[in-house]
A and B are shown apart, each in its own frame.
Chain A
Amino acid sequence: MQAAHGRGPAVATGIKRVHPDSVVFTYQGDGDLASIGMAEIVHAASRGENFTVIFINNAVFGMTQGQMAPTTLIGQKTTTSPRGRTAAEAGWPIRICELLDTLEGPAYIAREALTTPPRIRSAKKSIRRAFEAQLAGEGFGIVELLSTCPTWWGMDPLEAIRHIDDTMVEHYPLRVFRDRPAAHDRPAGQQEEAGSDA
C-alpha cells in the first residue's frame, strides 16, 4: 500500500482500524516523517495506534536529490543549504524520538544506528521489540535508524558510516526512550556486546 508523502501513519491508521489483527507498519524517511508528515506521526503516536514505524533518518532528502531535511545537522551542506545549514536561516534539526517521548501514547521508542555489526544487531533487536509490542497490543512503536547517504553527503561509504558514529550520534543519541511495559532507558547500540562497538 503506497501512501502519499508523509501520510503513512494516517493510511496505516485506516488499515489497522479495519484489520486490527493484521501486522501493519510504515516505512518513512526523515523528510516524509519529520517535515510534511509531522502532524500525522505525532497524532498517530499520541493515539497509541497499534502499528510500527520504521523511521530512516539520513539527515537529507535523498529521493529528490539531496535537499535539506528538518533533520539536517547544523553546518551540513545540502543542495538547498549550499553554505551549510545555519540555525539563523533554517532553525535547528528536529529530534523525533525525544519529541514523541513527551506523549503518553507510544509503547516503544528507540533510536539506533546502522553502522557497526553490534549496532546493527542492536537495531534488529529494537525492531523486533517494536513489532512484539504491536503483536501484544501494547500500541505504537517507532524505531529511528540513523542511516548513511553517501551520495548526497558527498562521502564514500566508509566515511559516511564514520560520520554517523562520530558526528550524527552527538545530536541524535542512541537510546531506548520507551519500552512499555518493560523498564525504560535500556541503553541502545550496545545491548549485546556492551562497550565493544567503538
Chain B
Amino acid sequence: MNEERRRVFISGNEATAEGGIAGGCRHFFGYPITPQNKIPEYMAEHLPPIGGVYLQAESEVAAINMVYGASSAGARVMTTSSSPGIALMQEGLSYMLGSELPAVIVNMVRGGPGLGNVAVAQSDYWLSTRGAGHGDGRCITLTPYSVQELHNFTAGAFEIADRYQNIVMVLGDAILATMMEPCELIPRREMEPPGRPYAVGPHEAGERERNIVNSLWVDFDAMEAVNIRNEERYARAAAEITDWEEFGSDDPQVLLCAYGISARLCEGAVMRAEEAGVRLRLLRPKTVFPFPTVPIREWSERVDAMLVVELSMGQFVEDVRLAVEGRCPVDLLSRAGGNMPTVSEVLAKVREVAAKAGVAV
C-alpha cells in the first residue's frame, strides 16, 4: 500500500484524536474536561464527515457506558478524559473488564486529589494500573512520552485491546496533551464492520448463537472462571507486549527509571551525565501494565543504585521496588501539584543517590 506519511506540527491532544481515527475508531463518546478538550473537539469536527459517530454524553458516567454499549455491539470505540473524569468512569471500566470487552481510554492526567488543578501530574498511576473500579481486573496501560508516541500508541491501542479483549489505557498528562511537536501521521485505517464474534448485533436466524454480554455471574465457579481468564490475559500480555526503551551509558552506576513526561526530562539528565560525574542510564517503560519487571530486575544486579523520577508522591516507584526486590537502593525524586524538577535538580539528586551508595563522585 502506498503509505505516504504526512508530517505535521500539532498538539498532543490532536495527535491522540487523529491516532484514534488512524487506528480505525469511528465511535467516540466523551465529556468535556480540561486539559483534553481538544480531543472531543477534534472528533466532533472529523468523525461525522467520514461516517463516524461523535456524541457528547451528559457525564463521564454516561460516556463510559455508551462506550460499553458500542463495544458490546462490536465497534472500535474510545473515550478520553482527565483524572476526575476517569474516576467517574470506574464503574463502566469495571463492567467492561467483567464482560471481557475491548475499548481504548485516554487519561490526560492532571493534579489531584479532588478537583486539583489542570497542570501536569503523574498521580493516576495507581488508578490506571490497579484499576479499573472494583473487582479483579486491570487495564493494559501504555505510557507515551512525546506527541508522536501519543499518536502511535493510541492508534496501536485498538489492536492490543482487540487481541486481549481488554481495556487499554493510554496514560498521558497535561503537558503532553497541550504541547506541540512535529508528528508523522499514520494513514487512517478504514472502519472495520462491527461483527465481532462476541458482540451483540444483527444476524440471520440460525447463523450463530445469540450472544449475551454480561458481567453478572451468580455462580461462584462461573465468576472465578472470568477472574482466571482475565489473569491469563495479563500473563499473555506480559509475555507479548511489555515494552520499554533504554538510553545512556552501557556500564551505568545509577539507573534512572521514569515514564512519560518525566522520562523526557530524564533524557536531558542522561545527556548531561558528566556534570554529575556519574555513569547514567535511563530505562523508560512504554507499558507500565504489563510492567518491564525483567529488565529492571536485571539492572538491579549491575548498578549501584536506582533513581525514580515521577510527578507524584511515589506511585510508579512501588512497581520499581517490587521488581528490584531489595537488590539495590531505589530512591525517589518527586514533585507534585503541577511542578516539575529541572534537569539540574535531577543531576543533583543523582549525585546524592550515588554518594549514598558509595559511588566515588
Interface residues of A (CB under 8 A from B): 1-4, 7, 10-19, 21-22, 39-40, 42-43
Cα A184 to Cα B75 with chains together (Å): 38
Q: Check B75 against A18 for contact (C-beta < 8 Å).
A: yes
Out of A2, A10, A12, A19, which one reaches B201, CB within 8 Å? A19
Inter-subunit contact A40/B213 (CB<8 Å): no
Q: Which of A2, A3, A14, A40 is close to B58, meaning CB atoms less than 8 Å apart?
A: A40
Instruction: Give chain B's interface secondary structure class.
Output: mixed
Given A1-B213, A7-B62, A39-B58: A15 and B202 interface contact (C-beta under 8 Å): no
What 16 new A-B contacts, CB under 8 Å, besides A2-B216, A12-B69?
A: A1-B213, A2-B213, A7-B68, A10-B68, A13-B69, A14-B65, A14-B71, A14-B72, A14-B73, A15-B72, A15-B200, A17-B53, A18-B73, A18-B75, A19-B194, A39-B58
The answer to whether A40 and B62 touch across the interface, beta carbons within 8 angstroms, is yes
> Which residues of A sit under 8 angstroms from B74, Cβ to Cβ?
18
Give the distance to chain B from A8, nearest Cβ to Cβ, in Å: 9
B43-72 interface bits toward A, Cβ cutoff 8 Å, 1 = contact, 0 = none: 000000000010101110111011111111
Name the residue on A nearest B216 (C-beta).
A2
A18 engages B213 (CB within 8 Å): no
Q: Are B75 and A2 in touch, CB under 8 angstroms? A: no
Q: B61 to A1, Cβ gap below 8 A?
A: no
Interface residues of B in 175-233 (CB under 8 A from A): 194, 200-202, 212-216
Q: Does B91 contact A (CB under 8 A)?
A: yes
Distance in angstroms between the alpha carbons of A11 and B215 in the assembled complex: 14
**A1-B72 contact in complex given A39-B62, A40-B65, A43-B58, C-beta closer than 8 Å:** yes
B194, A11: Cβ atoms under 8 Å? Answer: no
Given A4-B92, A43-B62, A14:B69 Cβ within 8 A: yes
Chain B residues near A4 (CB, 8 Å)?
A: 65, 68, 91-92, 95
Q: B202 contacts A19, CB within 8 Å? A: yes
Taking a contact as CB atoms under 8 Å apart, the answer to whether B65 and A11 are in contact is yes
Q: Are A10 and B66 in contact (CB under 8 A)?
A: yes
Q: For B215, list chain A residues within 8 Å (CB).
A: 2
Task: Determine whether the beta carbon of B213 is less than 8 Å from that of A14.
Answer: no
> How many residues does chain B have at the interface if contact means C-beta atoms less than 8 Å apart?
35
Least CB distance from B301 to A in Å reads: 47
Name the distance in Å between B343's Cβ and chain A's nearest Cβ: 45
Q: In whole angstroms, how far apart are the Cα atoms of A13 and B200 in the complex?
A: 14
B77 at the binding interface (Cβ < 8 Å): yes
Closest Cβ of chain B to A29, distance in Å, is 15
Q: Which residues of B contact A40 (CB under 8 A)?
A: 58, 61-62, 65
Q: Does B259 sit at the interface, judged by CB under 8 A?
A: no
| Closest beta carbon of chain A to B76's beta carbon, Å | 10
Q: Are A15 and B58 in contact (CB under 8 A)?
A: no
Q: Does B29 contact A (CB under 8 A)?
A: yes
- Please tell me if B38 contacts chain A, counting CB pairs below 8 Å: no
Which 10 residue pairs across A and B have the least CB separation, nearest first?
A: A14-B69, A10-B65, A11-B69, A14-B70, A18-B73, A43-B58, A14-B66, A7-B65, A10-B62, A15-B69
A–B complex contacts, Cβ < 8 Å, 19 sampled = A1-B200, A1-B214, A2-B212, A2-B213, A3-B65, A4-B68, A7-B68, A10-B66, A11-B66, A11-B72, A14-B65, A15-B72, A15-B73, A17-B66, A17-B70, A18-B70, A18-B73, A18-B75, A43-B58
Complex Cα gap A43–B62 (Å) = 9
Q: How far is the CA of A10 from the CA of B91 in the complex (A)?
A: 13
A14 CB contact (under 8 Å) in B67, B95, B99, B216: B67
Report if B27 contacts A (CB, 8 A): yes
Nearest residue (CB) in A for B200 is A1
**Smallest Cβ-Cβ distance to B213: which chain A residue:** A1
Say yes or no: A13 contacts B66, CB within 8 Å: yes
Residues of the A chain whose Cβ atoms lie less than 8 Å from the Cβ of B95? 3-4
Chain A residues whose CB sits within 8 angstroms of the CB of B68 once the complex forms: 3-4, 7, 10-11, 14
Within B258-288, which residues are at the interface with A (CB < 8 Å)?
none
Please report the C-alpha to C-alpha distance between residue A40 and residue B29 in the assembled complex, in whole angstroms: 14
Which of A4, A13, A14, A39 is packed against the most chain B CB atoms within 10 Å?
Answer: A14
Question: For B201, what are the chain A residues with a Cβ–Cβ distance below 8 Å?
Answer: 15, 18-19, 22
CB atoms of A18 and B216 under 8 A apart = no
Interface centre among B66, B68, B201, B202 (most CB of A within 10 A): B66
